[in-house]
Structure 1
Amino acid sequence: MSNNNIFDRPLRRRTLLTGSAMAAAAMALPAPWVGNASAQEFAGKEIRILTWSDATGQAAVKNILKTFEARTGAKVIADLTGTTSDMIAKIKASASKPQYDVVILSGFGANSLADAGLLEKPDTSALPNLARVLPDYQTGAKGHGIGYFLWSDGLVYNTKTYPSAPKSYDVLWDAANEGKIFLPPADNLYALELIIVAAKAAGGDIHNPDGGFEILKKLKGKSLTITSNANQIGDLFRSESLNAGGVYSPLELSPFISKPEFNVSGTYSLAEGFFVDLQYMVVPKGHPGDTAVIVALINHALDAEVQGKMAEEVWYGPINQDAVLSEGAKKSPFIPSPEVIKEHVNKVDAAYLASVRDDWIQRYTDAVM
């Protein structure tokens, strides 16, 4: 399900683009409804959800939508599609007669729909579970999006070359790895994150990247391939053609990481930290479904047990600080705990990256290709 475009990844969710009182009022819930929906409270009511068709979307159907139906009696219809761009197109096409009540999508999609004036602002006071979400990840898209989960980007490596996970992205510049690394394509957010890594190594930061581009020039001609295709990357690790690569998400390689013959793993425990992208739940303006059911579903998705189940199934980073994880999940290097997220995350300034995107793509291309 890979897609190389920086703003449109069916698995990789990207927040790179940049409401009225009436909209807020439309989402407000009448007293005394506040809190978790009770058994059969919404029997006979129906809402329609739009999200991805990949493993993460299927996990949401299983762990969120089906459990919500069982708990409340509501009927939840799930429409699954391939990409965030597909979702944006569907919401725009149906704007005169909205069909969906909740859309689960990337930050890019949430921001795009908010900028187009097609979203309502949820009443956050009606979401008690939101209080347990890490403060930086509660809302976004100018107040139109409710945080959902975190997609994480780090370093992937060959387990034969590195029996223990590397502690820094600097392995990409190690002479021993010349011709045995992969780098991300220029039009992919991973590339912008690699620029930030290089900028920090040069003593700069996201706003002062010049030194980073100079360091990136040292990688020119040193990579085996420039790609974000998970199947290609997995095959190259299996043939022992690659030692490391990044910035890249281990989540994309989960089918291969689970098979020892691919010799591949990933890490977020890096000196430079790792990157996360917040995914959102949004409510289209003029939605046909009952507001109380919609808000209850959003609240249910933020439940500590639901967040834990989603994290274990698709390696999402849970944002509920009380997320219930099994002992195995707590030990997994692929599921960043709320504590790890709080301490080691590089939270990207999405609006700033959007403003420098074209320039950075060109400079990255010149530096490494």
Structure 2
Amino acid sequence: MTLFSPRPALLAGAIAAVMFSGTASAADRLYVFNWTDYMDPAIIEAFEKKYDVEVVQNYYGSLGEMFSKLQAGGVSQYDIVVPSNYFVPRMIEAGLLQPLDKSQLPNMSNLMARFVNPPYDPDNQYTAAYLWGSTGLIVNTKTFPDAKPSWSILFDDSVNTSQPFSMLKDGQVMFGAACAFLGKPYNCTAQEDMVNAAKLMLKTKHRSNFTGFTDSTPVLGQVSRGVNALGVTYNGDYLQYKHDDAEGYANTEFMIPKEGSELWVDSMAIPARAPHPELAHKFINFILDAEVGAQLSNYTFYSTPNQAAVEHLDEVLQQPPSLPNDEDMARLKFTPTLSGKDLQRYQQLWNEVQSR
């Protein structure tokens, strides 16, 4: 979700200058547009060696940034892009993606059933799943030793009367969380539900212990250090940081709220006018290999959509929170794709939540 999400700001300038300088044959290059730190460098090296090519990576820090870059000409500059599920229909409608040639993707058969024929891309016409995960709460268990997995710890001031907390910068995720707390589906889109969710977030924002809107990565350090007592993040980010600093994250826990939360999928797609579509198909098929798929998850700490990869995963990725239990999975929903009046309404309401 992303996202990610796990994903810091754009580092495009210097890289883009190299990408399009023409100092080497463009036919020998694959141009990948991805979230930052979302790929094991060893996988890139293995692909380069196998196909005798150079992979040039460029990065984005948000889905809106990625979308705008493609609309501004990137659609003919990149061979691979990695959008989150709720942006895929928007990109298809805008003519930014080309259909996949599945005859070049035999490893598509490795995908788990839940990622075949997904609602955001029927019959996987344009995308192949890359990684997936869930959105939830990170809680300081010293501050909240009896914390329950519920959005109430965020939105109910009688549950959290004074401890500092933040909300996520991703507006659609927060609208889903607010809807779920109010007893509506996480993937709500009805006008009344969206308005009530905005009112709840405004009320929450004006509490004295609210510290601001944050990205998923900074909030992890804030909660582990006690700067915030809780926040919203992604399971893979949490696992990665806990792995890197087990002692620092000993008093934290990742929770999927009982009212419902986000299941997100980041997928590989080929821009509509990609310069090297055949090589792009080779890359997608390479990532969908069982051992490569496991290597990608073991590096990022996000869940694999690759059934054949599961046996190669590190142990931490074969249990919650990387693989939610059946009860939690039943509560997870895709963030809806908004368009037309629904998108305009969301954008207006989110702007009001942030500015008022």
* CA–CA distance in structure 2, aligned partners of residues 203 and 48 of structure 1: 38
Structure 2 equivalent of residue 195 of structure 1: 178
Structure 1 equivalent of residue 127 of structure 2: 145
Q: TM-score, normalised by structure 1?
A: 0.70
1:326 maps to 2:314: yes
* CA–CA distance in structure 2, aligned partners of residues 355 and 89 of structure 1: 17
C-alpha distance after superposition, 1:85-137 (max 9, x if no partner): 554455445469x3432223444665554333243111235433323424553
1:249 maps to 2:234: yes
Query: What percentage of residue pairs aligned between the two structures are identical?
Result: 18
Is the contact between residue 120 and residue 144 of structure 1 (CA under 8 Å) also seen in structure 2?
Answer: yes
Structure 2 equivalent of residue 39 of structure 1: none
1:358 maps to 2:347: yes
Structure 1 equivalent of residue 152 of structure 2: 170
Structure 1 equivalent of residue 18 of structure 2: none
Match of 1:156 among 130, 138, 146: 138
User: Is 111-120 or 308-317 further displaced after alignment?
Assistant: 111-120
Deviation at 1:157, TM superposition (A): 0.4
Structure 1: stretches of 5+ with no match in the other structure = 1-5, 13-44
Is the contact between residue 47 and residue 290 of structure 1 (CA under 8 Å) also seen in structure 2?
Answer: no
SS of the residue aligned with 2:291? helix
Structure 2 equivalent of residue 19 of structure 1: none
Structure 2: stretches of 5+ with no match in the other structure = 9-26
Match of 1:67 among 27, 46, 58: 46
Structure 2 equivalent of residue 276 of structure 1: 263
SS of the residue aligned with 2:270? strand
Structure 2 equivalent of residue 54 of structure 1: 36
Match of 1:335 among 322, 326, 333: 322
* CA–CA distance in structure 1, aligned partners of residues 259 and 231 of structure 2: 15
SS of the residue aligned with 2:58? strand
C-alpha distance after superposition, 1:140-185 (max 9, x if no partner): 4673333222243111100323457732222222635223242326
Task: Give the CA RMSD over aligned residues.
Answer: 4.0
Is the contact between residue 80 and residue 270 of structure 2 (CA under 8 Å) also seen in structure 1?
Answer: yes
Match of 2:162 among 179, 191, 211: 179
C-alpha distance after superposition, 1:2-58 (max 9, x if no partner): xxxx9996728xxxxxxxxxxxxxxxxxxxxxxxxxxxxxxxx7341322362214x
Shift of the 186–229 alpha-carbon distance from structure 1 to 2, 3 Å rule, reads closer
Is the contact between residue 3 and residue 264 of structure 2 (CA under 8 Å) also seen in structure 1?
Answer: no
* CA–CA distance in structure 2, aligned partners of residues 337 and 128 of structure 1: 28
1:130 maps to 2:130: no
Letter aligned with residue 315 of structure 1: F
Deviation at 1:316, TM superposition (A): 1.7
C-alpha distance after superposition, 1:227-260 (max 9, x if no partner): 21457534543443432223x3244455653433
Structure 1 equivalent of residue 282 of structure 2: 296
Match of 1:79 among 57, 80, 84: 57
* CA–CA distance in structure 2, aligned partners of residues 130 and 174 of structure 1: 47
Task: Give aligned pairs, total.
Answer: 323
Q: TM-score, normalised by structure 2?
A: 0.72
Structure 1 equivalent of residue 214 of structure 2: 228
* CA–CA distance in structure 2, aligned partners of residues 118 and 229 of structure 1: 27
Is the contact between residue 132 and residue 304 of structure 2 (CA under 8 Å) also seen in structure 1?
Answer: yes
* CA–CA distance in structure 1, aligned partners of residues 160 and 291 of structure 2: 42
* CA–CA distance in structure 2, aligned partners of residues 339 and 67 of structure 1: 35
Shift of the 80–180 alpha-carbon distance from structure 1 to 2, 3 Å rule, reads same
1:120 maps to 2:133: no
SS of the residue aligned with 1:100? coil
* CA–CA distance in structure 1, aligned partners of residues 277 and 304 of structure 2: 27
Match of 2:336 among 328, 338, 349: 349
Structure 2 equivalent of residue 31 of structure 1: none
User: Is 334-343 or 147-156 further displaced after alignment?
Assistant: 334-343
Shift of the 244–118 alpha-carbon distance from structure 1 to 2, 3 Å rule, reads closer
SS of the residue aligned with 2:318? helix
* CA–CA distance in structure 1, aligned partners of residues 153 and 238 of structure 2: 19
Structure 2 equivalent of residue 11 of structure 1: 7
